[in-house]
Structure 1
Amino acid sequence: MPGKLQKKAADPVIAEDLADFKVGVDNVIFSVDTEQNRLLVLLVMRPESPFIGAWSLPGTLVRCGESLEDAAYRVLSEKIRVNNLYLEQLYTFGDPHRDPREAASAFGVRYLSVSYFALVRFADAELIADGVSGIAWYPLSRVPKLAFDHNQILTYGCQRLRNKLEYSPVAFDVLPEQFTLGDLYQLYMTVLGEDFSDYSNFRTRLLKLGFLQDTGHKTSRGAGRPASLYRFDPEAFEALKDKPMVFI
């Protein structure tokens, strides 16, 4: 019929065109050095090709019969010892040629990376150097060129961390059980930048939300007057968990 769009038949799927995938996990493990006010990411030096000797995110290929989450936790357990750990899936990276092993494969193997995002308490974290040439916390401002597309994965992880501060209590995973409002404010400035909010506005809005419990104790630091110590109240936060944090 004239003028009517003709639906184009889909090209048939040819077996030779289907990619054979290997799946890996790469972990973006963050921590905050609250004493020096630095946002840190854990990097390891690759002991083998490709990118031998280059810094990368901790990662591994998924084993037969192993879930993605189990692989992510396996990598964590091989690189770091920590009591409290926040972990969630971040994103899947699968651009062609993201891994040079694809070009060397005679069978068209593709390499996917399912990335995970973790946040650990700096004071409690013990690094494990087994099986790697080097392992270190890097300040975000000093991260070098990483292997594969790990700089891109890290950038995505940083954005996720900043977004989570707006609607979740993830900040309290890296603070001690009792903290001052100044400690909390400094953590937010370290992650979000110094211009996100002034302290007075931050303090006023935060206390109105009602999920911080005054312990009745104070701490003295330097010549200033003692500061009140607070703790996070997860039950009080329940009513706010689906709302943006208005003090950001």
Structure 2
Amino acid sequence: MTPKSTNLANFKVGVDNVIFSVDMAQNRVLVLLVMRQGDPFSGQWSLPGTLVRQGESLEAAAYRILAEKIRFKNIYLEQLYTFGGPDRDPRESPDCFGVRYLSVSYFALVRFEEAQLIADGVTGIAWYPLERVPELAFDHHQILEYGYQRLRNKLEYSPVAFDVLPETFTLGDLYQLYTSVLGENFSDYSNFRTRLLKLGFLSDTGVKVSRGAGRPASLYRFNSESFALLKDKPMVFI
């Protein structure tokens, strides 16, 4: 058996952002994709990404990519996972002294109604519904799948939804966001409503709104102080 090389890998570090939004008008989850303009994978769709600059933190690189691609007011961002397989980037040299490309991925959620795409210098940038995502460059399908699972998990135990909802919202608005991401069978509306109100981290504003036929709906506001008492409990929301 040939002994493994003891030479240390020479890494370049990149950041790839999985930027999600929820179009509640059409009940669909969207991901932001850009078209690559250079090799490798020129002309192919990918997640927005960049190589980390000298003296730049990983988080700063993630925010830089966000600022270059999209204008937003509210966003949730967290580090997702590090992808570093030895064959994930075709630019890697086959010899042991070649450069390896490592991707530190970030997961983001933005408010669809407020997000504005920036097309300057970009031949292709678009929101894609998850069920219509085209073939992606590198291992970005794997990164996207990992990010979508994180989004689903975060909805179950964290207040991430309130980072992209308006300051005041109806319980119907909140339920629609959850069904868009988790599917309509995750919970019926009555049980969802009862559980959330019982937990006590939603404050009734006393204001009601009418949307079409039916009874006016109450507007609520997320109470972060009340939620802090529940943050370590699993499956808070559903």
1:103 Cα deviation after fit? 4.0
SS at match of 1:148: coil
Runs of 5+ unmatched residues, structure 1: 1-10
Measure, in 2, the Cα distance between the counterparts of 1:131 and 1:247.
41
Which segment drifts farther, 205-214 or 236-245?
A: 236-245
1:246 Cα deviation after fit? 3.8
Match of 2:223 in 1: 233
- Does structure 1 conserve the Cα–Cα contact (< 8 Å) formed by 2:75 and 2:164? no
Q: Does 2:101 match 1:118? A: no
1:35-184 correspondence to structure 2 within 5 Å = 35-103=25-93, 107-184=97-174
SS at match of 1:25: strand
Structure number with greater Rg is 1
Q: Which amino acid aligns with 2:32?
A: L
1:106 Cα deviation after fit? 9.0
Measure, in 2, the Cα distance between the counterparts of 1:80 and 1:224.
37
- Judged with a 3 Å threshold, the aligned counterparts in structure 2 of structure 1 residues 210 and 66 are, in CA distance, closer, same or farther, namely same
- Does structure 2 conserve the Cα–Cα contact (< 8 Å) formed by 1:53 and 1:133? no
Q: Which amino acid aligns with 1:37?
A: N
Report sequence identity in percent: 80
Q: Which amino acid aligns with 2:18?
A: V
Q: Which amino acid aligns with 2:120?
A: D
Measure, in 2, the Cα distance between the counterparts of 1:120 and 1:63.
25
Q: Does 2:175 match 1:185? A: yes
- Judged with a 3 Å threshold, the aligned counterparts in structure 2 of structure 1 residues 168 and 247 are, in CA distance, closer, same or farther, namely closer
1:100 Cα deviation after fit? 0.6
1:177 Cα deviation after fit? 1.1
Q: Structure 1 length as normaliser, TM-score?
A: 0.91
- Judged with a 3 Å threshold, the aligned counterparts in structure 2 of structure 1 residues 76 and 103 are, in CA distance, closer, same or farther, namely same
Q: Structure 2 length as normaliser, TM-score?
A: 0.95
1:225 Cα deviation after fit? 1.2
Measure, in 2, the Cα distance between the counterparts of 1:232 and 1:44.
33
Runs of 5+ unmatched residues, structure 2: none
1:105 Cα deviation after fit? 7.8
1:194 Cα deviation after fit? 1.0
Measure, in 1, the Cα distance between the counterparts of 2:36 and 2:5.
38
Alpha-carbon RMSD = 1.6
Q: How many residues align?
A: 236
Q: Which amino acid aligns with 1:68?
A: L
